[in-house]
Amino acid sequence: MSYFCVVKIEEIYIKRCIELAKNGLGSTYPNPMVGSVIVHDGKIIGEGWHRKSGEPHAEVNAINSVKNKSLLAKATIYVSLEPCSHFGKTPPCCDLIIQHKIPNVVIGTVDPNSKVAGTGIKRLIENGCQITVGILEDECNELNKRFFTFHNKKRPYIILKWAESKDGFIAPLTKEKQEPVWISNPYSRQLSHKWRSEEQAILVGTQTVLDDNPKLDVRDWTGNNPIRIVLDRTGKITSDYFLKDGKTKTIVITERENLTSVENLIYESVIFDKQLTQKIIGILYRYGIQSVIVEGGKQTLETFIADNLWDEARIFKGNISLNEGIKAPLLNKISKVTDIKDDQLKLFLNHD
């Protein structure tokens, strides 16, 4: 018996766009990751992706990579996100497509940014381009889950992360045994640092800073250190605790008023009440932060869970039992669970 698998040709090229876009993971924000492919007569003649905010968009890089520009007038351009129509840090991609008379445009998904939001598609149609929209739409939305959450929900994409023992504790009761043996393996530590490099900010509570004095940086990986967000209600944390690398910002959210912010150490004063998580994400939104990884401790994680303000939870499960200790947080609404690496790492999703 033989089987046929029908895959639309558009899907193959949009898949390639997504693959190209992922090269920008962790370096494009506040811009999305975008990839583009140009096809003529069944052959790819150009490719590009957006590398960094302020630099050319994916379509510009793809068009520039085409050697014989005269082929563009008979080509199809594939792009994982709607081509932009506005003057931002760079000129509109639509205009370049129109200028090169590219007749066909295949788009993964519509740009949620209110400056674009369908106006790119409209402009291309008005100029006679043949448009196809919504190829691998879910995958294209997932690719830019941070960017979509930020623009659609007006808050950052929130990832919770912790490690727990086989019997469900995140730390022993006694301080001397605080070193979490189950996470201290090179694989999980490197992976945690890779994750930090992928998000725009990292958030921890006061106790985590006082107990562990964590650097909250990406030293076991390459890439950018995330902006550090520290909750410090009563002002227990002195500036000695903070990493002084001269460039990474730390935002301290506190109840204390009139604290003077210095260059990389910024104080944000709020009342710590039942609306705390809303206030935190409001502050992050104001700073244009599109994603945050919350790395503890228990109370901080549980506040985000209780308020159902999380999108993803990444949980390392250790091989050892502690028998007693500080109980790991419990997740509420879970829509999907994925096991990664021998059941030691689980990924929980809180969205459809």
- Residue 106: helix, strand or coil by DSSP? strand
CA gap 189, 111 in Å, rounded: 35
Token pair for 152: 């659609």
Q: 């201290």: which residue's tokens?
A: 184
207 sits in which H/E element: helix 206-212
The binder of 136, among ligand AOF, Zn ion, none, by C-beta within 5 to 8 A per type, is none
Short-list 328, 334, 288, 327, CA closest to 308: 334
Catalytic residue among 10, 47, 55, 59: 59
Q: Tell me if 119 contacts ligand AOF by CB under 6 A.
A: no
Q: Tell me if 51 contacts ligand AOF by CB under 6 A.
A: no
Q: Tell me if 65 contacts ligand AOF by CB under 6 A.
A: no
59 is catalytic: yes
**For residues 313 and 331, is the Cβ–Cβ distance under 8 A?**
yes
The site string for Zn ion over 82-121 (x = CB under 5 A, - otherwise) reads --x--------x----------------------------
Short-list 98, 97, 75, 93, CA closest to 34: 93
CA gap 142, 157 in Å, rounded: 12
Which parts of 25-44 interact with ligand AOF (CB under 6 A)? 31-32, 34
Q: Tell me the C-alpha to C-alpha distance, in Å, between residue 190 and each of 244, 326, 333.
A: 22, 24, 29
The binder of 58, among Zn ion, ligand AOF, none, by C-beta within 5 to 8 A per type, is ligand AOF
Which parts of 67-86 interact with Zn ion (CB under 5 A)? 84
The site string for Zn ion over 40-69 (x = CB under 5 A, - otherwise) reads -----------------x------------
| Closer CB to ligand AOF, 111 or 295, in the complex | 111
Q: Tell me if 292 contacts ligand AOF by CB under 6 A.
A: no
CA gap 44, 75 in Å, rounded: 10
Q: Tell me if 93 contacts ligand AOF by CB under 6 A.
A: yes
Query: Where do contacts with ligand AOF occur on this chain (CB under 6 A)?
Result: 31-32, 34, 50, 53, 57-59, 81, 83-84, 88-90, 93, 111, 113, 116
Query: Where do contacts with Zn ion occur on this chain (CB under 5 A)?
Result: 57, 84, 93
